Amino acid sequence: MATAAIFSSLRRRRSPSLEVFLAPVDFTDVGLVQTLVSLSTELVSSFSGKSLFFQRKNSRSLIRKIEIFVVLLEYLRDSGAGSALSSPTFACFKELYLLLYRSKILLDYCVRSSKLWLLLQNHSISGHFHDLNQEISTLLDVFPLDDVELSEDVREQIDLMQTQSRRTRLLIDKDEEALRVRLFSFLDEFENGRIPGLAELRLFFVEGLGIKDAKSCITEIEFLEEQIVSHEGDIEPTTSVLNGFVAIARYCRFLLYGFGENEVELQIGNQKKRRKGLIAQEIAETFITIPKDFFCPISLDLMRDPVIISTGQTYDRSSISRWMDEGHCTCPKTGQILMNTRLVPNRALRNLIVQWCTAHGIPYDPPENTDSSVEAFAATMPSKAAIEANRATATLLIHQLANGSQGAKTVAARGIRLLAKTGRENRAFIAEAGAIPYLCELLSSTNSVAQENSVTAILNLSIYEKNKSRIMDEKGCLGSIVEVLRFGLTTEARENAAAALFSLSAVHDYKKRIADEEGAVEALAGLLRKGTPRGKKDAVTALFNLSTHTENCVRMIEAGAIAALVGALGKEGVAEEAAGALALIVRQPIGAKAVGGEEMAVAGLIGMMRCGTPRGKENAVAALLELCRSGGTDATEKVLKAPALAGLLQSLLFTGTKRARRKAASLARVFQRCGNYPLQFGGLGAGYAFAGNSAANRDPSFVSEVSVPVSISVSVL
């Protein structure tokens, strides 16, 4: 039963802010009384005129009690009786200060919270009001009235309040409780596969809650989402239940309030607002470094289905299967002959990958044949109610994308964008329902909001593995994404187009197609040179992905990507990926020639060896080694003349990563063989033990030697 979750903790409390506990310890008697007068008067003036939608009875009862305290305090101040308070009276007034401050926080919370949230927290908030009433009653019971000279009318009001406080019981408004129960019944209906009708939803949201327009409904949705994020799972109702209510509210937002063209401006304003809220957090987590053991040594992508081959090495099933299908009979990483072609699932590693992705909020789409036990580690599964409500919402949105006005299509595209932010289920049924062709049409829109929302929606959809083929197979879609990358009407549209290309290029077979698309590589190179920090990150990760396909080398040279990657070596946040891409490109003689021809290439790689991150140093020394191997004597000469290289190599041999030490030792051996430089590297002999045999040191698949913390630039936006 969906309603069971809310009853698990009706009176859960959260610690109040530190200010609540700061009683005025340095006041004189008169100062304390005056402070209490000011605080209580402010409370009455601020909240007595406000008509709260929920908790009206509780709030009015509390304010009436505060009004009586105002009478008492003003009498003491004006009569001068507050100038000589007894110790018990002074202590009671300090306690009153805390009660008034807590009352202010509670009333303010009721004013600022959304209606849906107040309804969901009806029992808990009513409990807080009851607690305050109980504490007021206790305070009045111990208050030394005989120590204070009061007029008869003031004394009567205090006595009456004391009597009433003793009789106070927990008050849960029947009408509000009926609405809360009705809200949970909607959740149950969606869970049981029945979508409530338009009339009953309108009666509840418009008439019952007073949510009259789309703007108010969006505010309700955003408030619920912010509670989910800010409470970090420690929340009642549970996160899965709240997600169900968010999905229902989003469905009602479109069903009840439509897709009016006048809402396009609303969407622009909300986009800017959300980027400072939930989206800002997602962008902050966009560039997470994935543990290198989670990468497939062949594709350098996060492994979805890791398997172990006969040599004991682990690869992603799709990558090693393609390697074997191409006729290879050796291990890509070690070069050993394969004893058999059996692929053994590495379930332990797969579980670790899923748990890590879950902990960092990274979408992870396991293949169809994964075990149910693995699926259990995935992010908290959405409730059936949320899935059904989102499915119904997607149907409304896609209908508008197909048949609505230009303004309605813009609103619908943003709805798809937000709906595709989370959950493989959402991404799957949005694409299955036919959203991609209509989103592709909007990519060429002259409306900047429509274009930005459509390209971001495609980016979010592309995270789901099956949707990559749907996007690539849609006629003209790839070309339209590239057009947005080149000529997009907003910076964010261009950046998200680059991120979409990175996401799509995770499939090996699509890397060549993307690189061959006219203007794609040129635009990525341009974004890497002149984009925002996030745009540069999107561009460099896309270029790195493309560089892992050997047939793209010539295209990247022609498009000016080499110069852009070299220029990125000194830029924080993109240097590692740039060095990794260059290390792959210089494996081919034509690539080595192009990189060697860049004046700042060697200097940039040397600089990274000096000041880069451990992985950056690893990629830099790997690039220099391959440049010497493939670039001929001219390239080797240029590397040999680099200042301070000997010391940097020696440092790497003792402090670098395992791969960095191996590459540094191999590069030292190259220099040792060059008769003109025997003295410069005389002190490196101790490091050769890391190198082993030089022939074995050069792995059959160099991809496994490039360590790049590929960033999840495809974070949902």
pLDDT at 392 over 50: yes
% residues pLDDT > 90 (the chain): 33
Using a cut of 0.75, tell me whether the model's pTM lies above it: no
Single residue among 223, 240, 258 that ends a domain in this structure: 258
Same domain, 414 and 461: yes
Q: How far apart are CA 504 and CA 541, in angstroms?
A: 12
Same domain, 193 and 47: no
Only one residue has tokens 């635009």, namely 523
Residues facing residue 315 across a β-bridge? 307
Q: Identify the helix (H) or strand (E) that includes residue 95.
A: helix 87-112
Residue 529 included in any domain: yes
Q: What is the rounded average pLDDT for all residues in the chain?
A: 80
Q: Which pLDDT value is given to residue 152?
A: 86
Q: Which amino acid is at 179?
A: L
Same domain, 66 and 121: yes
Q: How far apart are CA 216 and CA 688, in angstroms?
A: 69
**Confidence band for 338, pLDDT divided at 50, 70 and 90:** confident
107-135 confidence digits (pLDDT tens): 999 998 999 999 999 999 999 999 999 99
Same domain, 21 and 150: yes
28-48 confidence digits (pLDDT tens): 555 788 888 898 999 999 888
Which phi and psi (to 5°) does residue 315 adopt? -135, 165
Single residue among 258, 277, 308 that ends a domain in this structure: 258
% residues pLDDT > 70 (the chain): 81
Same domain, 71 and 146: yes
Single residue among 559, 584, 608 that ends a domain in this structure: 559
More confident residue, 82 or 450: 450
Neighbours of 333 (CB within 10 A): 20
248-300 confidence digits (pLDDT tens): 999 999 999 988 755 544 444 444 444 333 333 333 333 455 677 888 888 77
Lowest mean pLDDT among 187-196, 522-531, 602-611: 602-611
pLDDT at 232 over 70: no
User: For residue 504, which of 538, 454, 529, 536 has the smallest C-alpha distance?
Assistant: 538
Q: Which three-class secondary structure state does DSSP give residue 242? A: helix
Tell me the CATH number at 554: 1.25.10.10
Query: What is the mean pLDDT of the segment spanning 314-320?
Result: 88
Same domain, 11 and 99: yes
Under DSSP, the state recorded for 205 is I
pLDDT at 308 over 60: yes
Please answer whether residues 551 and 516 qualify as being in contact, where contact means their C-beta atoms are separated by less than 8 angstroms. Answer: no
**Confidence band for 378, pLDDT divided at 50, 70 and 90:** very low
Residue 711 included in any domain: no
Contacts of 619 (CB under 8 A, 6+ apart): 576, 579, 580, 582, 583, 608, 706, 707, 708
Same domain, 200 and 166: no
Residue 702 included in any domain: no
Please answer whether residues 338 and 311 qualify as being in contact, where contact means their C-beta atoms are separated by less than 8 angstroms. Answer: yes
Same domain, 144 and 74: yes
Q: Where are the alpha helices (DSSP H) in 420-476?
A: 424-432, 435-442, 448-462, 465-473
Q: How far apart are CA 55 and CA 60, in angstroms?
A: 8
More confident residue, 672 or 488: 488
Same domain, 141 and 14: yes
476-500 confidence digits (pLDDT tens): 999 999 999 999 999 999 999 999 9
Residue 315 included in any domain: no
Q: Which pLDDT value is given to residue 461?
A: 94
58-91 confidence digits (pLDDT tens): 999 999 999 999 998 888 888 876 667 788 888 8
Same domain, 153 and 196: no
Residue 446 included in any domain: yes
Same domain, 583 and 550: no
3-state secondary structure 634-700: HHHHHHHCCCCHHHHHHHHHHHCCHHHHHHHHHHHHHHHHCCCCCCCCHHHHHHHHHCCCHHHHCCC
Report CA Rg, the chain. 33
Residue 300 included in any domain: no
pLDDT at 364 over 70: no
**Confidence band for 571, pLDDT divided at 50, 70 and 90:** confident
Residue 693 included in any domain: no
Residue 271 included in any domain: no
pLDDT at 436 over 70: yes
Q: How far apart are CA 293 and CA 683, in angstroms?
A: 33
Q: Which three-class secondary structure state does DSSP give residue 372? A: helix
| Number of helices and strands in the chain (H, E) | 35, 3
Domain count of the fold of the chain: 4
Q: Which pLDDT value is given to residue 151?
A: 84
Residues facing residue 316 across a β-bridge? 306
pLDDT at 596 over 50: yes
**Confidence band for 616, pLDDT divided at 50, 70 and 90:** confident
Same domain, 34 and 102: yes
User: For residue 509, which of 545, 544, 541, 562 has the smallest C-alpha distance?
Assistant: 545
Residue ranges making up the domain that contains 545: 404-559
pLDDT at 443 over 70: yes
